[in-house]
């Protein structure tokens, strides 16, 4: 599993450099909308309980911490901080041209 070698929070986005050299750029609001905690996703059905329209347009990650050797947890400006983003999930959310075309080729 690829692991982040560097994580930078900028006012526009979150930039993750992976151990394989890949660079992911994730827009704050999009990543916040992908939180998988129990407040954001039903524990019983797996249905997403929030949509991107429920999240403030100016939300941003204020801080982050690594969780074990498998995930990152962000502190968001809307005070949400319970979501854990496993590394493989973060990598799968990358929308760069390379990753996006790979996702389309494999119907991910």
Q: What pLDDT does residue 107 have?
A: 63
| Of the candidates 40, 44, 5, 10, the residue with the CA atom closest to the CA atom of residue 28 | 10
CATH architecture type of domain 4-106 = 2-Layer Sandwich (3.30)
Q: What pLDDT does residue 2 have?
A: 85
Q: Which helix (H) or strand (E) holds 66?
A: strand 61-67
| Of the candidates 87, 24, 79, 32, the residue with the CA atom closest to the CA atom of residue 54 | 32
Q: What pLDDT does residue 97 have?
A: 80
Cβ–Cβ < 8 Å for 78, 55? yes
Residues with pLDDT less than 50, the chain: none
Q: What pLDDT does residue 99 have?
A: 78
Q: What pLDDT does residue 55 have?
A: 97
Q: What pLDDT does residue 102 have?
A: 63
């Amino acid at each position: 599993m690829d692991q982040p070698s560097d994580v930078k929070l900028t006012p526009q986005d979150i930039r993750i450099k992976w151990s394989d050299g890949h660079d992911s750029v994730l827009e704050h609001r999009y990543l916040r909308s992908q939180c998988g905690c129990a407040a954001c996703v039903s524990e019983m059905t797996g249905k997403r309980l929030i949509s991107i329209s429920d999240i403030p347009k100016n939300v941003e990650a204020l801080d982050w911490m690594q969780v074990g050797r498998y995930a990152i947890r962000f502190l968001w400006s809307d005070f949400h901080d319970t979501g854990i983003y496993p590394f493989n999930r973060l990598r799968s959310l990358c929308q760069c041209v390379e990753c996006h075309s790979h996702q389309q080729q494999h119907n991910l």
